[in-house]
Structure 1
Amino acid sequence: MKRLVLGGMLALASGMAAQAQPAAPGSNPILRDQFTADPAALVVGDTVYLYVGHDVSDDERYRMPDWLLYSSKDMKHWTPHGTILRPTDFAWSKGDAYASQVVEKGGKFYFYANAKEAATGSMAIGVAVSDKPTGPFVDARGSVLITNAMTPQGQHGWSDIDPTVLIDDDGTPWLMWGNGNCFRAKLKPNMIELDGPIEEVKLTRYEEGPWLHKHGKTYYVTYASRERGPKEPETISYATAPAVTGPWTYRGELTGPAENSGTIHPAIIAFKGKDYFFYHDGTLTIGDKKGGSYRRAVRVERLFYNADGTMKPVAQTAAGVSGRP
């Protein structure tokens, strides 16, 4: 009997030790110190800068007071830099740090930020600027760049969310955004003013969260998608085109739904000769707080292209980029 008890205790201790082992670097989720969402990655030299929303919800609604920054030189070890920007850093905003993106042009870094406009209560888009990817970022305009009144096709007060920016090969910057409807506009060379009309982009199963990038000669817009229905979880779909202005051809789903989260949000980069796909799900637990649709966690996978330029479907894994694909 003593041997059985001792054996059982040893087995239990061994199991507890195995569970206590730290996650392998690069395994998912890649950020574990905070609940994070809506990743936006930027490559500068030998470093990836990852800007994320910060979930602090204790109930069934989004509470996102700021954007956080992490950086990595190997895609496996991530250094936290803390809060990089708050919605209230804009005089026109009263809160809610939804999905955003930072891009570099002319040695400056432009933070296209999505926040709630104090005057109307609707979501709006502004832009902050810095001389460094780590900030400090300051309001580049002193006013809103995109307001809800500028997109009457939108059906609600959060139509104008999730900005993504692509600087084309000729230096032209393009802005795309929207929930329910996808919008596109050219930016002036100064990166903080529109240069022409706002146009609606028709994308199959489009919901929100567009991400623009170019691979080879092909333009891609990757976005959160779903069949119309309020309780259907989002998946990631994408379309390709010969130019930012289209025509866009739907290419199908890139991923299925995120685990334990009704939303999912893409970001795609090339770094040191490899391609990566960032997203979020709701699987992380921190202390006594369990993850979910309002407490999410950022993850990353390798991304691969087919010979015809289409992207291979991405499997959501626990291993992430910790080992060989």
Structure 2
Amino acid sequence: MNLRIIMLALVGFGLLLAPQHLKAQNPIITDVFTADPAPLVHNGTLYLYTSHDTASVTSTNYEMKDWLVFSTTDMKNWTNHGPKLSPKDFSWATGDAYAAEVEERDGKFYFYVSTFHKNDDRSDGGGAIGVAVADSPLGPFTDAKGEALIYNEMTTDNPHGWDDIDPSVFVDDDGQAYMYWGNGSLKMVKLKDNMVELDGSIKYYNPKNFVEGPWVYKRKGLYYLVYASHGGERERIEYAISDSPEGPWEYQGILADSAPNSFTIHPGIVNYKGKDYFFYHNGVLPTGGSYRRSITVDYMHYNKDGTIQKVEQTEKGVKAVE
């Protein structure tokens, strides 16, 4: 066989392999580093609210200046709508833009964010949760309260100053809204109908191995608490189930292993067009890592008793939907 035939054969073999590579979808966002996915479905569109990693390759800490929004109608093609909110939009805030989530109620969209509070007459600084509001899932969002919804001095169960982060909010079938958050322990409080005021006292929980990043939702009468947990050197995802949004929470086990090339992992769960999706982040993009993360998505499957099968993290990702 001469050299030309050998080269043609190698090219043909490469073309056979190429379609398999091109089918790889994860990470779903590749033009910018993103983390902490928070999906929301509205009028047939899936909106994805994310943190935005801007740290340099050599950085040894997070640099996150704003929150981004993406959308899709087919789980394959994603539109980047750019930054829609920043800590600078809150007069009381300072520092980075950590995990956030958007909840819809009565035609308005409430953007719950975690950042840090300025050192002033209300707070000596530390982690804080704020809320912005808009008439559209794409904004424009403005501070809905004029002050932090939660600031560090309101919780005293942990000595570190960053325990009030990572809000997760949902409205139950009876109209009662709940917010969950925390690092080191899980906190919960009811919200008033206006979604910007607390309704009662803060409650504290200690789910097994809980670290941070709670995601709470309801499915077929069961309440699910999904969170980042101790997974050895890196976080992983575990979950618990309850018959009540106020617990007690019954531990169920590991939902997803640690993410490749990232110390952290953060869940975002949604049902869209009949499929259940598990969003998370890893650090697999070129030059990526724990401070330069990328959002991915894989399928999630339930057992008949409501428990969840362990998520398989894949490069292939999910198929397009109509």
TM-score by length of 1: 0.92
Partners of 2:19 and 2:285 lie apart in 1 by 15
Following TM superposition, by how much is the alpha carbon of 1:293 offset from its aligned partner in structure 2, in angstroms?
0.5
Q: Once the two structures are superposed, what CA deviation does each residue of 1:276-299 show, in whole Å capped at 9, x if it has no partner? A: 1100000012xxxx1111100000
Alignment pair present for 1:188 and 2:201: no
Partners of 1:121 and 1:8 lie apart in 2 by 65
Question: Which SS does the other structure have where 2:309 is aligned?
Answer: coil
Alignment pair present for 1:55 and 2:48: no
Superposition pairs of residues 97-112 of structure 1, within 5 angstroms: 97-112=97-112
**Which residue number corresponds to residue 238 of structure 1?**
239
Question: Which SS does the other structure have where 1:252 is aligned?
Answer: strand
Partners of 1:121 and 1:86 lie apart in 2 by 18
**Which residue number corresponds to residue 251 of structure 2?**
250
**Which residue number corresponds to residue 76 of structure 1?**
76
Alignment pair present for 1:297 and 2:294: yes
Structure 2: gaps (5+ residues): none
Runs ≥4 residues deviating over 2 A:
3-24
The answer to whether the 8 A contact 1:38-1:100 is kept is yes
Of stretches 11-20 and 52-61 in structure 1, the one that deviates more from structure 2 is 11-20
**Which residue number corresponds to residue 147 of structure 1?**
151
**Which residue number corresponds to residue 137 of structure 2?**
133
Counterpart AA for 1:274: K
**Which residue number corresponds to residue 275 of structure 2?**
274
Following TM superposition, by how much is the alpha carbon of 1:129 offset from its aligned partner in structure 2, in angstroms?
0.1
The answer to whether the 8 A contact 2:47-2:137 is kept is yes
Q: 33, 42, 66: which one pairs with 1:44?
A: 42
Q: Once the two structures are superposed, what CA deviation does each residue of 1:48-76 show, in whole Å capped at 9, x if it has no partner? A: 00000010111111000111100001111
**Which residue number corresponds to residue 265 of structure 1?**
266
The answer to whether the 8 A contact 2:37-2:49 is kept is yes
Counterpart AA for 1:193: E
Partners of 1:169 and 1:78 lie apart in 2 by 30
Partners of 2:97 and 2:12 lie apart in 1 by 43
Q: 1:95 to 1:17 in 2, by over 3 A?
A: farther
TM-score by length of 2: 0.93
Q: 1:17 to 1:87 in 2, by over 3 A?
A: farther
Structure 1: gaps (5+ residues): none
Q: 1:20 to 1:217 in 2, by over 3 A?
A: closer
Q: 290, 296, 309: which one pairs with 1:312?
A: 309
Superposition pairs of residues 161-176 of structure 1, within 5 angstroms: 161-176=165-180
RMSD: 2.1
Counterpart AA for 1:222: V
Partners of 1:316 and 1:302 lie apart in 2 by 9
Q: 1:240 to 1:21 in 2, by over 3 A?
A: closer
Question: Which SS does the other structure have where 1:275 is aligned?
Answer: strand
Partners of 1:90 and 1:49 lie apart in 2 by 23
Question: Which SS does the other structure have where 1:70 is aligned?
Answer: strand
Question: Which SS does the other structure have where 1:88 is aligned?
Answer: helix
Of stretches 151-160 and 216-225 in structure 1, the one that deviates more from structure 2 is 151-160
Question: Which SS does the other structure have where 1:97 is aligned?
Answer: coil
Q: Once the two structures are superposed, what CA deviation does each residue of 1:242-298 show, in whole Å capped at 9, x if it has no partner? A: 01111110000001100010100001111111111100000012xxxx111110000
Counterpart AA for 2:77: H
**Which residue number corresponds to residue 214 of structure 1?**
218
The answer to whether the 8 A contact 1:155-1:180 is kept is no
Partners of 2:146 and 2:16 lie apart in 1 by 54
Equivalenced residues, count: 315
Question: Which SS does the other structure have where 2:3 is aligned?
Answer: helix
**Which residue number corresponds to residue 322 of structure 1?**
319
Partners of 2:275 and 2:43 lie apart in 1 by 14
**Which residue number corresponds to residue 27 of structure 2?**
29
Alignment pair present for 1:197 and 2:195: no
Question: Which SS does the other structure have where 2:96 is aligned?
Answer: strand
Partners of 1:304 and 1:20 lie apart in 2 by 27
Partners of 2:17 and 2:138 lie apart in 1 by 37
Following TM superposition, by how much is the alpha carbon of 1:166 offset from its aligned partner in structure 2, in angstroms?
1.2
Following TM superposition, by how much is the alpha carbon of 1:23 offset from its aligned partner in structure 2, in angstroms?
3.9
